[in-house]
Structure 1
Amino acid sequence: MKLLLNIKKENDDLGKQVNNLANILSLTTYIKHCLVALIIAFSFNAQAQDLPYSDGKKYTLGGISVSGNTTFSEATIITTSGLRKGKEITIPGEDISKAIKKLWGYKLFSDIEVYISKIEGDIAYLEIRLSDLPQLNELKINGVKKGKKEAIIKETGLNKGTKVTENLITTTKNFLTKKYKKNGFYNSKILINTIDVKDSLETARVNMVLNIDKGEKVKVKDIVFSGNNVLSDKKLRKAMKNTKKINRLRILKRSKFIDSAYQADLNHVIDKYKENGYRDARILSDSLVVNDDNKTVSLHINVNEGELYTFGDITFIGNTVYSNEQLNRYLRIKKGDTYNGVLLQERIADNSKPDAADITNLYQNSGYLFSSINPVEVNADGNVIDMEIRISEGKPAYFNKVSVVGNDKTNDHVIYRMLRTRPGQLYSKENVVRSVRELGQLGFFDAQEISPNFNNPNPNEGTIDMEYSVKETGSSQIELQGGYGGGGFIGTLGLSFNNFSIKDIFKKEAYKPIPMGDGQKLALRLQASRFYQTYSFSFSEPWLGGKKPVQFSTSLSHTKQFLYNPITRNADKSRRFNITGLSVGLAKRLTVPDDYFTLSQAVSFQHYDLQNYNTGLFTFGDGSSNNLSYTIGLSRNNTRIDPIYPTGGSNFSATAKFSVPYSLFNKVDYKALKDERDDLEIIIGDGTKTIDERTEASDRVGEIDQERYKWLEFYKINFKGDWYTEIVKDLVLKPSVEFGFLGAYNNDRGVIPFERFFVGGDGLGNYSLDGREAIALRGYPNQSLSDQDGGTIYNKFSLELRYPITLKASAKIYALGFLEGGASYNSFRDYNPFDIKRSAGLGIRIFMPAFGLLGIDFGHGFDALPGQTAKNGWETHFIIGQQF
């Protein structure tokens, strides 16, 4: 038997060598073949039988047999090799090498040997002897948490049955080493051992043990620059956005070393020089030194600053749509300014801001989608750079088709009415960005997944197809809210259907589980404690009539409050205060000053019914009051894009609520009633008077108050503003300001005992019992910063710093830190916007589509509660179903 080829393949690189070795068979003699095989140290062996060979002699294959440790059938191996009985082949020649190359190509074998078993004249018989690569039987991973193991298996492909090669082992080591270095584990060590497994089937199997020693995160101890004279080390280190030296006072930026971030920061160093006019600056060398503690590294960066350059003449070429003067207003760079390549690029196309005021957006907002703008340096004599800004305007582009994909629940017309892009309309990048914002603000889709896709751009015809890709998210919510306020535990259960379809309410097949898809909102709410119960129903249609963004809303509510018994500390249900309310409103989006403004109007009516309900707030215990009021509000909301986690823009609202000025025409002398009431209060407080006299005076006060409050007369002003600024990526600063004032038309009639402000706590208990508003101010107990009867004026200031943990549709989580202060006042005589109660703290918010916003805050009150001297200290607030 003569061995033609015996190759033991250990990895894919070796496999390439095998293919080269196979070609050696075409050498003129068997001796040459053996000499070459010996030189490259492969196990080409021949048995002692001496068979006559001549150069390239042709044989007919009389048969092929297969042997060795393999689970593949003989027919499969022969078919795969490309050899077949009766085929004429040349030995030595390319036929054998091609067959072996094919078998190696499947990466299933660790050893392939081809023998001539015998020769009869010009008929040759071959034997293919091979061994399968071992399969992975079991994998054991040490050194990482259980939850991380599945991810490692998925990333490396180490699944049961995988063919185990040296290349696989090496690739896995390299991958995991790079992975952990990327995450700051610069000293990570990966060890992989394999153990052969014997089984009855004699199948080649191995168990693998993957030992991962991440080590400690390597941190940057120091960053040392050399060669820098113009810019200090401090400025250059500051330019490195993600590579920072150890500083225990720094919270938001960690000091771990990540090579990819470091390489990017080297470019940021060069950009810093370019911003200051040194366009030729470059990094001559950089090195990383592992310190003796083996836990920190020092970075040494050698720079060449080059020379200072300034801008010379800046010429626009190719512009016909806009004049040089118009383009210069956007460029805002003049001859003689210090050269700043980064600023120049931002003024031409600022990729960090989709709505930036740059020249590219100027063209794209006017339809020139296919325009291109390229700055070119044409002269740099004397360190003065003359620039040509070459503009290719192209044809104006028009939308050909506009489509939406991904909406499984929301009906198409609800989406299309929000889009600012229409077929046949001139292209505008601003309108595309605004459309994405409007879809995100709906709350029906994951705002992070909304994607505008440009399809079939045709510069010659000037057309583009627009496709908006959306991902539905849960828009209905179960509101579960709990907390302490108003003298006891307050619980709320509500159902809010935010994408309701009332037209399908009688269609049985539409209940999946409820009729959905038309963008309407239906809410049912129950709030209760020992002392009150509130039931409410509301409905809103955002596009009344379906053609214009005019929102119609209506609500119906009923409230019962029971008098607190200070002796039993329970509610006395025989003494109650009932309120029934109805409101109808319209809100219209405006076009002036811009279309972010909304004008809202509402008419509401509340009927107050008192049954044996005497308090210090008003003295008639049996009777009724009525509140007919008109509310007008102006709001502007241009926050982007995600309503749960806005990263920019602002949201403000100003509302005014008015009742009818009854005192102008009801011919009641309220001054006389006021004087009489003051006199009666003196009698009630006079201990020399008899009980009957004081009782009679008290009853008369009740009659006067019944007259004063039969129809409530008041006006109420509210203002609230929120601003969102993205400091760095996803880190958002949110300052807020609030103000409220409750006044009276007629001072003799006085300020009503309803509609008042209660400041302090988490804002729970914001029930419409008597029109009151619960103003959250963390770090203090609920409603503790107002008098028992509430205030008529309040102001509040807050500053929040937010950072997202995850913004996925299933759960959006962000952490926050806050500073805030506020107070309530009983009159303008007491009002002092700087005399406020201050607090600070930390919190976290979790938004889940089914339950709304959940969270917890830990607030520290720096000031004392009214009537106390010691600061309030720490308070814990649970937030369920509401948002500050």
Structure 2
Amino acid sequence: MLLLTIKKENDDLGKQVNKLDNLVLLKTYIKHCLTALIIIISSINLQAQEITYNTGKKYVLGDVTVSGNSSFSDQTIVTYSGLSKGKEMTIPGEDISNAIKKLWNSKLFSDIEIYITKIEGNVAYLEIKLSDLPELNEVKINGVKKGKKESIIKDNKLTKGTKVTENLITTTKNFLTTKYKKDGFLNTKVHINTVPVEDSIKKARVNMVLNIDKGEKVKIKDIDFIGNDIFSDKKLRKSMKSTKQINRLRIFKRSKFIDSAYQADLSKVIDKYKENGYRDARILSDSMIINNDKTISLQIKVNEGEKYTFGDITFIGNTVYSNEFLSRLLRIKKGDTYNGVLLQKRIADNTKPDAVDITNLYQNNGYLFSQINPVEVSADNNVIDMEIRITEGKPAYFNNVSVVGNDKTNDHVIYRELRTRPGQLYSKANVVRTVRELGQLGFFDAQEISPNFNNPNPMEGTIDMEYSVKETGSSQIELQGGYGGGGFIGTLGLSFNNFSIKNIFNKEAYKPIPMGDGQKLALRLQASRFYQTYSFSFSEPWLGGKRPVQFSTSISQTKQFLYNYQTRNADKSKSFNITGITVGLAKRLTVPDDYFTLSQAVSFQIYDLKNYNTGLFTFGNGTSKNLAYTIGLGRNNTSVDPIYPTGGSDFSVTAKMTIPYSLFNNVDYTALKNEREDLVIIRDDASQTSIDRTNAANRIGEIDQERFKWLEFYKINFKGAWYTQVAKNLVLRPSIEFGFLGAYNNARGIIPFERFFVGGDGMGTYSLDGRESIALRGYPNQSLSSQDGGTIYNKFSLELRYPITLKASAKIYGLTFLEGGNSYNNFRDYNPFDIKRSAGLGIRIFMPAFGLLGIDFGYGFDPLPGETVKHGWETHFIIGQQF
């Protein structure tokens, strides 16, 4: 607002006019009144900012004063306005208008007024009256969850100290209303109030209160199509993936209206026509009808057009690949029903970075700057002739390749994983693979890895490549306590997944531990009154630093004391000890492809029993030794995030075997077997004397000690899992597992160690005998196997996952599952369809400092062995593993 007035001088003259008969003074008064009127009229025109000032009078600016409510100094305001003392200016004129514009555009003031306080000859004195815009003090948001408030403040820039203008209030209100309407809350109402802050600070400050009433999401009662003859309403509704009308039988897709999803689904309706030859199909109009029951009905009017077929398809501009080769890749022939969606996917499938299409064919072979455009050249008689025009461009080579953002991980650890090198021919597949390899390291936030193309030069055929990464916590700590196995159990585990062993004696490298070389080191201690275990493991993924050959080693010591029922304490004179060491090598292969890994390991274990008679083993005193060789072949091409893969598969088959000692140790195991069978009859015969039965039991123990002095067995395991993204971030994970434990010599028998125990969380509680715990949710731990464990097992699982957040600080996803599995004592009992079934849901939380945590609620549909009623609900707590 601009207001120019003559203040005091005119008032004084007005009081004297009745007393004056001096004509000169009266003329002066009239003159000043007319001048004031002209100025006021001109000021109105200044406000409109549409009049050119040709009627003003020139004055010299005498002085400028400042009044009003402002925290800025007078000198600062005057200087910023440009109204300096002694300046010659026209009043009214552009100088004052520009001064107001500058003050207003600063977005610091409100109620800006400029007055003429007096005029002395050709000297004018001005007064600037203004008030500071109030600053935002606090924001209170009502009507939304606590976790959403921070994003509202951030998105609308409602931070403390922000100047509160009407525009800020209006844009915030419109933003929130639009945001929630897009999410399906069509009746959203937003009210914003500001309350002045009363305190001793001179600055004008206000508290802002946002009252958000989202209301209920509006449901879709009906979706009706008008003008459709080719496809029924039902088929067109089915093509709409996210917009559904009310159906009580549908579970996973709700009928709530979301505008963004609706707009995308309108395009899918047209795609349905285009996929079936109707390339001219159009949405003529769509309307929303609000029903009395607070639902809506959607009416969509379509024009189907006529059906087309493909005619001649000609390639133009291709010199690298022949027409025949490109035609085989396109896989569309003359006479096929026109399918515009399929044509686009065969040329460039934007939904799959590794799709088999023509664009990727060029991109993966250096032609970064190639362009492929399909053009319709004729549509006579509904037959469409196509020209696929190809501009191949010059082959591109990587010039500079760099990585930014690695603050902890050393450069050589990253660069050895890169598939793109300076001077190398550009390949999109190599860029995608590099992103995967960096994500699989586990040192970076897989969601934040970004390949950036810099300085593309089509003329020179070069491009710079920069991979941006964000470090995430790669060390984990496990510190927990609990009650189990007859007493309190304490656990301390430390896992360093980006360790640097070469700096272990370098004091300066401890921040807090030596890190950056990609090695893994883990320590774990667990103890109670009855149970102690200690383990150490180390792995180097690039042994020698030249090739991806992983070296790993582990040492473990486990001790179990027998429970004394009289003292209810541990009897430390009776124990079962296991000491083991493992050394292994794993090499990345190049054939059939470089997703394959061949692993080999040699392990040695000593099982030492001292007066440990429990019935778990047939001998309570003695030693068993286990020298085994393990070979495995695996293929893992999951992408990109190892915590939440969204594609690819993970397969592995392993064989663990020992030396067939029975071939050369000159022991007659058949005779021992026959003797043992006879002794079992005596031991179990109640008519025998106690001495004979005791002697028979002791002799059985001696025979079993001889049989298992050196363990002899072979063991086969297979595991496979697939990951398929069925919708955005919604991942389906089917998996299958199989295991078999066999013996070379049937007379010697299958060993009592290394067996399979199915059921529960699979955490392997008290796995002293080398047993393998197989998770099967919905049943208690190890409840689906006999006391001695099974020699065969199979398991089938189907899991559907959806992420809640995939941020580096915490990755959280929910899941539902169907599972089935069982264990069997021998092949005579094996039936892959005789399984225990379960279903349920759960949640997983991965935090870098603590690893993977989770909880599952599973329902067992079948009875436990020996029972007749279905098991029902079971709760499982998960630590450090996935299913």
Tell me the TM-score normalised to structure 1 length: 0.91
Shift of 1:766: 5.3
Shift of 1:650: 0.9
Contact 1:684 1:694 in 2 (8 A): yes
Alignment pair present for 1:58 and 2:43: no
Residue 260 (structure 2) aligns with: 260
Separation in 1, partners of 2:198, 2:748? 99
Shift of 1:699: 2.6
Residue 723 (structure 1) aligns with: 722
Alignment pair present for 1:658 and 2:626: no
Separation in 2, partners of 1:555, 1:269? 58
Separation in 2, partners of 1:493, 1:806? 28
Separation in 2, partners of 1:175, 1:495? 47
Residue 582 (structure 1) aligns with: 581
Shift of 1:724: 1.1
Question: Deviation string for 1:501-527 (max 9, x for gaps)?
Answer: 111111111111211111111111234
Shift of 1:422: 1.0
Change (3 A) 1:32 1:230: farther
Change (3 A) 1:762 1:489: farther
Question: Deviation string for 1:187-235 (max 9, x for gaps)?
Answer: 1222234456777888766555433322222222222211111122222
Shift of 1:816: 1.0
Contact 2:5 2:116 in 1 (8 A): no
Change (3 A) 1:720 1:297: same
Residue 371 (structure 1) aligns with: 370
One-letter amino acid of the structure 2 residue matched with residue 437 of structure 1: R
Residue 455 (structure 1) aligns with: 454
Separation in 2, partners of 1:414, 1:266? 48
Change (3 A) 1:691 1:398: same
Residue 799 (structure 2) aligns with: 800
Alignment pair present for 1:74 and 2:74: yes
Residue 735 (structure 1) aligns with: 734
One-letter amino acid of the structure 2 residue matched with residue 780 of structure 1: Y
Residue 471 (structure 1) aligns with: 470
Of stretches 191-200 and 526-535 in structure 1, the one that deviates more from structure 2 is 191-200
Separation in 1, partners of 2:43, 2:125? 23
Question: Deviation string for 1:732-791 (max 9, x for gaps)?
Answer: 111111111111111111111111111111112255522211111111111111111111
One-letter amino acid of the structure 1 residue matched with residue 75 of structure 2: A
Question: Deviation string for 1:154-198 (max 9, x for gaps)?
Answer: 333345554443333322221221122123221122223445677
Residue 309 (structure 1) aligns with: 308
Alignment pair present for 1:502 and 2:501: yes
Separation in 2, partners of 1:349, 1:77? 60
Residue 110 (structure 2) aligns with: 110
DSSP 3-state at the match of 2:434 = helix
Contact 1:534 1:767 in 2 (8 A): no
Shift of 1:362: 0.5
One-letter amino acid of the structure 2 residue matched with residue 775 of structure 1: I
Change (3 A) 1:195 1:225: same
Change (3 A) 1:328 1:42: closer
Of stretches 204-213 and 388-397 in structure 1, the one that deviates more from structure 2 is 204-213
Residue 561 (structure 2) aligns with: 562
One-letter amino acid of the structure 2 residue matched with residue 157 of structure 1: K
Shift of 1:70: 4.3
DSSP 3-state at the match of 1:229 = coil
Of stretches 127-136 and 394-403 in structure 1, the one that deviates more from structure 2 is 127-136
Tell me the TM-score normalised to structure 2 length: 0.91
Contact 1:481 1:881 in 2 (8 A): no
Of all paired residues, the percent bearing the same amino acid is 81
Shift of 1:43: 13
Residue 167 (structure 2) aligns with: 167
Structure 1: which 5+ runs fail to align? 7-27, 45-52
Contact 1:599 1:632 in 2 (8 A): yes
Contact 1:864 1:870 in 2 (8 A): yes
One-letter amino acid of the structure 1 residue matched with residue 816 of structure 2: G
Shift of 1:126: 3.5
Structure 2: which 5+ runs fail to align? 7-33
One-letter amino acid of the structure 2 residue matched with residue 244 of structure 1: K
Shift of 1:129: 3.8
Residue 176 (structure 1) aligns with: 176
Of stretches 485-494 and 541-550 in structure 1, the one that deviates more from structure 2 is 485-494
Alignment pair present for 1:336 and 2:358: no
DSSP 3-state at the match of 2:787 = coil
Contact 2:312 2:334 in 1 (8 A): yes
Change (3 A) 1:246 1:499: same
Separation in 2, partners of 1:202, 1:450? 48
Residue 18 (structure 1) aligns with: none
Separation in 2, partners of 1:197, 1:552? 66
Shift of 1:445: 1.0
Question: Deviation string for 1:552-589 (max 9, x for gaps)?
Answer: 11111112233455777765432222221111111111
Separation in 2, partners of 1:398, 1:100? 57
Residue 699 (structure 2) aligns with: 700
Change (3 A) 1:188 1:377: same
Of stretches 452-461 and 156-165 in structure 1, the one that deviates more from structure 2 is 156-165
Residue 632 (structure 1) aligns with: 631
Contact 1:766 1:773 in 2 (8 A): no
Question: Deviation string for 1:391-410 (max 9, x for gaps)?
Answer: 11111111111111111111
Contact 2:5 2:40 in 1 (8 A): no
Of stretches 698-707 and 805-814 in structure 1, the one that deviates more from structure 2 is 698-707
One-letter amino acid of the structure 2 residue matched with residue 333 of structure 1: I
Separation in 2, partners of 1:531, 1:564? 7
One-letter amino acid of the structure 2 residue matched with residue 574 of structure 1: S
Separation in 1, partners of 2:3, 2:778? 87
Residue 293 (structure 1) aligns with: 293
Residue 99 (structure 1) aligns with: 99
Contact 1:504 1:515 in 2 (8 A): yes
Shift of 1:728: 1.0
Residue 155 (structure 2) aligns with: 155
Change (3 A) 1:684 1:808: same
Change (3 A) 1:568 1:299: farther
Change (3 A) 1:230 1:565: farther
Separation in 1, partners of 2:204, 2:557? 77
Separation in 1, partners of 2:793, 2:680? 29
Alignment pair present for 1:245 and 2:245: yes
Question: Deviation string for 1:401-443 (max 9, x for gaps)?
Answer: 1111111111111111111111111111111111111111111
Residue 676 (structure 1) aligns with: 675
One-letter amino acid of the structure 2 residue matched with residue 276 of structure 1: N
Contact 2:372 2:391 in 1 (8 A): yes
Residue 404 (structure 1) aligns with: 403
Contact 2:638 2:647 in 1 (8 A): yes
One-letter amino acid of the structure 2 residue matched with residue 675 of structure 1: N
Separation in 2, partners of 1:329, 1:43? 68
Question: Deviation string for 1:835-868 (max 9, x for gaps)?
Answer: 1111111111111111111111111111111111
Equivalent residues in 2 for 1:359-438, closer than 5 Å: 359-438=358-437
Contact 2:595 2:637 in 1 (8 A): yes
DSSP 3-state at the match of 1:680 = helix
Higher relative contact order (CA 8 A, sep 6+): 1
Change (3 A) 1:275 1:681: same
DSSP 3-state at the match of 1:319 = coil
Residue 438 (structure 2) aligns with: 439
Contact 2:3 2:40 in 1 (8 A): no
Give the total of aligned pairs. 853
Question: Deviation string for 1:8-58 (max 9, x for gaps)?
Answer: xxxxxxxxxxxxxxxxxxxx99988877887999899xxxxxxxx994443
Change (3 A) 1:132 1:421: closer
Contact 2:309 2:382 in 1 (8 A): yes
DSSP 3-state at the match of 1:843 = strand
Change (3 A) 1:543 1:193: closer
Separation in 2, partners of 1:424, 1:538? 39
Residue 745 (structure 2) aligns with: 746
Of stretches 307-316 and 31-40 in structure 1, the one that deviates more from structure 2 is 31-40
Contact 1:534 1:769 in 2 (8 A): no
DSSP 3-state at the match of 2:862 = strand
Separation in 2, partners of 1:482, 1:200? 54
One-letter amino acid of the structure 1 residue matched with residue 89 of structure 2: I
Shift of 1:364: 0.8
DSSP 3-state at the match of 1:864 = coil
Shift of 1:119: 3.9
Separation in 1, partners of 2:233, 2:633? 51
Separation in 2, partners of 1:741, 1:482? 35
Contact 1:551 1:587 in 2 (8 A): yes
